[in-house]
Amino acid sequence: MIKPVELFRDVIKIIDQTTLPELVRFEYIYNLEQACEAIKKLKVRGAPLIGIFAAYTVVQIAREIKDRDLERMKEILRSSIEELSKTRPTAYNLFFALERMRRVVNTTQTKDELLQNLENEAKQIDDEEKARCEKMASHGVRFLKEKTRVLTICNTGYLATNHIGTALGIIYRGVKEGRIQKVFALETRPLLQGARLTMWELKENGIDATLITDNTAGLLMAKGMIDAIFVGADRIAANGDTANKIGTYTLAVLAKYHNVPFYVVAPTSTIDPSTPSGKDIIIEQRDPSEVLGIMGRRIAPEGVNALNYAFDVTPYELITAIITEEGVVEPPFE
């Protein structure tokens, strides 16, 4: 698997996910400005991956300023963490990872240790996400009966996690164990993470999948063609309400109506116990131009408006189970 984010000795190497699948383009991140731009423009995206990348960015900045005295270094690092936390509001992993990096800045006493401690922490965040992905896959496969036909939305694989993935991780494992008969991927308008990224990722890994438009999901459920739905999460509130890519809520309502089990797959680093319910989750609104066009080409007439919520919230009552690395929970989720 290609690593979408990798820390080297003097640079962070990323895959620019905006040009996939046409172009597999690597980019090198040297400073805070480039890192913030990469997150905002979705060159780096997917909740766990954003967290990992933000942690590596803090390391990269610490390397850049390592000749300053300890207090000045800490000051710059704290303000950089603040900047990074403003890049995208919904994915909790960003805040989870940055909080860990902030704690290292605050508790390290000597300059010699600071860089090393930050490197260790960031590496650990990355390694922990790997272990979480593997465990979620192990817990999740038991929900796949023989020859399951699964449906998924957005991209939740290694492009979103640096590792096997959340919802897609279960699908990889299910295919490997021969439990999956068919994978359907929603194209995921407006930025087409399903069409561009999930289809590319699965193809790269030799997995046959069928792409459908977002509005085809209901028809397939009505025809009895979907046995289970697996989705990721950007933030899970304390009551189990789940923010995920726009369209996930619609899928969950359809799933309830058609009696199709609806699973949310997310590491505990996505669970935000300080947010009581979904209505307290900040939903990112992005530039209307993403809806007014496709891949930079305008499709709507000039001068019209568009509304572009990047995520929606699925109420916990619609979720069959939340699959985490710690195990599987069913409602009530508190």
Active site residues: 234
Determine the residue type at 65: I
Whole-number Cα distances in Å, 246 to 143, 294, 304: 24, 16, 21
**How many residues of this chain bind ligand MRU (CB under 6 A)?**
18
293-322 binders of ligand MRU (CB under 6 A): 310
Does residue number 98 form part of the binding site for ligand MRU (CB under 6 A)?
no
Name which of 233 and 254 has its Cβ closer to ligand MRU. Answer: 233
Does residue number 74 form part of the binding site for ligand MRU (CB under 6 A)?
no
Does residue number 174 form part of the binding site for ligand MRU (CB under 6 A)?
no
Ordered alpha helix ranges (H), the chain: 32-40, 47-64, 70-85, 92-107, 111-140, 158-161, 167-176, 199-204, 217-222, 248-258, 289-292
Q: 305: alpha, beta or left, given left = phi > 0 and alpha = psi -120 to 50?
A: beta
State the nearest-atom distance from the C-beta of 80 to ligand MRU, in Å.
21
Does residue number 194 form part of the binding site for ligand MRU (CB under 6 A)?
no
Does residue number 245 form part of the binding site for ligand MRU (CB under 6 A)?
yes
Instruction: Fill in the per-residue mask, 115 to 154: x = in contact with ligand MRU (CB under 6 A), - = not in contact.
Output: ---------------------------------------x
Residues 6+ apart with CB under 8 A from 285: 307, 308, 309, 310
Query: Within a 10 A sphere around the Cβ of 99, how many other Cβ atoms?
Result: 11
In this chain, which of 46, 140, 174, 278 binds ligand MRU, going by CB under 6 A? 46
Does residue number 275 form part of the binding site for ligand MRU (CB under 6 A)?
no
State the nearest-atom distance from the C-beta of 215 to ligand MRU, in Å.
18
Query: Within a 10 A sphere around the Cβ of 50, how many other Cβ atoms?
Result: 28
State the nearest-atom distance from the C-beta of 155 to ligand MRU, in Å.
6
Does residue number 166 form part of the binding site for ligand MRU (CB under 6 A)?
yes
Name which of 159 and 220 has its Cβ closer to ligand MRU. Answer: 159
Query: 37 and 13 in contact (C-beta within 8 Å)?
Result: no
Name which of 74 and 163 has its Cβ closer to ligand MRU. Answer: 163
Sign for the CA dihedral angle at 142, 316, 131, 8 comes to positive
Q: How remote is the C-alpha of 320 from its chain's centroid?
A: 20
CA pair distance 124, 58, nearest whole angstrom = 14
Q: Which stretch binds ligand MRU (CB under 6 A): 3-11, 56-64, 159-167, 208-216?
A: 159-167
SS3 204: helix
Biggest alpha carbon distance in the chain?
Answer: 66
Name which of 143 and 158 has its Cβ closer to ligand MRU. Answer: 158
Q: Where do contacts with ligand MRU occur on this chain (CB under 6 A)?
A: 42, 45-48, 91, 154, 156, 160-161, 166, 193, 232-234, 244-245, 310
